[in-house]
Structure formats: C-alpha cells, structure tokens
Homo-oligomer: A and B are copies of this chain.
C-alpha cells in the first residue's frame, strides 16, 4: 500500500506545486524570483500578415524590436523561465510595467486580466492529462497583448496546446491570417479552454470505473481513489473558475485593443468555459455521491459479515449446549431421575434427531430471511 501512497502524493505534489511560489513577506513589488531548476527561456517569433510569414527562433530579446515596429502581427512565444537577465531585457523591449513582469514570471498567479492602457495582461492556466492518465499537469500561460503584437510566456517548453493554432497560421488555414493580434490571442485562449476537455473526459472515465468498483468490489483502495479524485477536481475547479471571469471581463470591458468582431468569437470561448465549469461541478457532485455509496457499501459488507457470524453461532451454540447436557456426569445409578436417557435404548439416535431438528429449523429461518446465500458465497 505504501507504494500507492507514494504515487498518489507524487501526483498531488505535481498538481498542487503552485503553493511553493511566494515571496517572503515585505519583498518589494515587481521583484522577480527565478527558479534555478527551470529551463532556460527559448524565444520563438512568428510574424505574419495575409501575405508574408516569418517563423524563427530568437536568441536576444532585442531582436524582436524590428518586428514589433512593423504593422504585421508579431507573436513572440517564450518557453521556460530560467534566466533573469533575458526576462528583464524582454520586459524592456515590450515596455512592461514591473508588476506585469512579476506576474508573468511568478508561476503561482491566479488567472486574471488587467488593462494597462496600451497593453492587456491575461494570465491563464493550461491543463494536460499526465502520461499515465492518472491526473493532470497545470501550467501557467501569460499573454501580453498589444496593438499588433502578442507576447506569450509558458513555464515549460515540453508541451503546449498551441500547436493547432501555429499550424493554422503557417498553413494559412481559416481566417487567422486576415485578422489582428487580438484574434490570435482569442485563438490561443480558445485552445487553452478546449484543452480542458480531454482532461474532463479522463475524469468522466475514471468516475465510471469508480462507479463499477464501488458497487461491485469496494476496498479501502477505492476510498483512496475517490478521495484523490475529489482532490484533483477541487484543483481543476480552482483552475477553470477564474478563467471564466477573465474571458467575461475581456468581452465586457471596453479596451480598444480587442475589436468588436473578436468579442463575438470570445462569447463562443466563454460558452466553452461555462461548459467546462458545468462538467467539473457535475463530476464533483457525482464524486461526493460516490463517497456516500462507498460508506453504504462498507456498512452492507459489515451486515454480511455479521450475518455469517450470527448464522454459525445461532446454529451451533444451541447444539453444543444439548451435547453439553448429555456430557454431564450425573450418576444414573443413584436415582431413576438422573439422566435415564443415557441408558435408554434409543437415547443417542433420538438425541441426534433432536439436534438435527433444531439445526433444520434454524436453517429454515435463516433461509427464509435470505441470509444463507451470502454465508456460503465464495466471493466477498
């Protein structure tokens, strides 16, 4: 069992790793803290308009500058946070407010959107199922949206859900090449929200498995699984709820950076976020229902155990008493009242018959109560 716990706590740590990131109280705002273990930042630039497309990796943040000055849409995607110098130079290139830079680098932020006049900061969280399909990873993605550029910052380069959007830009599929940076930001946000669905499907399957398990064969391990499920759903809920508000405020607030046409698309994205919340809440309700069922199932099992004990004890204890009677040593020679049965011709057979009668009656009673089937079934 120890192994299970270990695995469990590993997954939990992964999903709850967020709590490690905080400044010591009293630190100046805008202070950047670099986690030395995290990967060095890699910077990718995609600069496009309806006709041209540039797609390349960039070494120095300053190399982005020329692209930002043109009218074409520039998407600068930073993956990895392990170098303070590069991040600060990036902040200078994009003229980021110190609080923006802190939020982007600090990987423990809550999803939010903030309006800095000519820039819009959006913090979102992206989830992906783990390889073993036994939980999910949650990673922060920050968007800094300007008039004709978009800066995105991710913690880990290994995985993101932006591949589909990148392909649509490169292949010129759909209308994305005809639209501005705001449409790009919407497309990426939409991909982030849509990334919740595979995770939800995994939980849907896990709940169905747990339902079968809890009804057919509940063990203490089942309990662990239900608890773990609830814990992860609490986490998932914490990731998606604030994103709904983020998207809603993007739709409602009158920032000029987002055009009215894109707002219509954002409504669609908003609907999807509500759908995700809906399903998370449904799963939470189902999982708390599972806990109730588990508790009842354990009580039922106790009933079965007690029935076996009661059946066995109730049959054999009276019989043993009868046998005990005739094991007494009263001396038949001293008195005709002292256990004359012992010397009677049919004493023993009658005694056995009497015992059989008792046992039979009790068995009949228990059979009528339906207890016998359980006592002799080999499956628990």
Contacts and interface: CB of A to CB of B under 8 A. Distances in A.
Nearest to A128: B25
How many monomers of this chain does the complex have? 5
Interface stretch (A48-56, A133-141, A251-259, A327-335): A327-335
Interface string A187-202: 1001110110110110
Interface stretch (A74-82, A88-96, A147-155, A314-322): A314-322
Nearest to A2: B216
A337 B347 CA distance: 8
A33 to B, nearest CB: 13
Please give me the 9 A-B residue pairs with the lowest Cβ-Cβ distance, nearest first.
A26-B164, A323-B324, A326-B328, A28-B174, A25-B194, A22-B197, A327-B327, A335-B345, A26-B191
A9 B282 contact: no
A167 B102 CA distance: 21
Contacts of A162: 26
A209 to B, nearest CB: 10
Interface of A: 1-2, 5, 9, 12, 16, 19-20, 22-30, 97, 99, 102-103, 108-110, 112, 114, 161-165, 167-168, 173-176, 187, 190-192, 194-195, 197-198, 200-201, 204, 208, 211-212, 215-216, 220, 223-224, 227, 230-231, 234-235, 238, 264-265, 267-268, 271, 274-275, 278-279, 282, 285-286, 289, 291-303, 305-310, 312-314, 316-321, 323-332, 334-335, 337-339, 341-349, 351-352, 365, 368-371, 376, 378-380
Contacts of A301: 303
A162 B25 CA distance: 8
A114 B108 CA distance: 31
A100 to B, nearest CB: 10
A216 B376 CA distance: 25
A216 B1 contact: yes
A349 B164 CA distance: 80
Contacts of A112: 271
Contacts of A312: 310, 313-314, 317-318
A230 B319 contact: no
A9 B238 contact: no
18 contacts: A22-B197, A22-B198, A22-B201, A25-B195, A28-B173, A28-B187, A99-B265, A215-B224, A227-B293, A230-B285, A234-B282, A309-B309, A312-B317, A316-B320, A323-B328, A325-B352, A331-B343, A338-B347
Contact of A99 (B108, B264, B295, B337): B264
A194 B330 contact: no
B29 A279 contact: no
Given A28-B173, A110-B275, A298-B300, A308 B316 contact: no
Contact of A323 (B235, B285, B325): B325
Nearest to A163: B26
Contact of A305 (B227, B303, B335): B303
A349 B328 contact: no
Give the interface centre of A191, A197, A291, A329 by most chain B CB atoms within 10 Å. A329
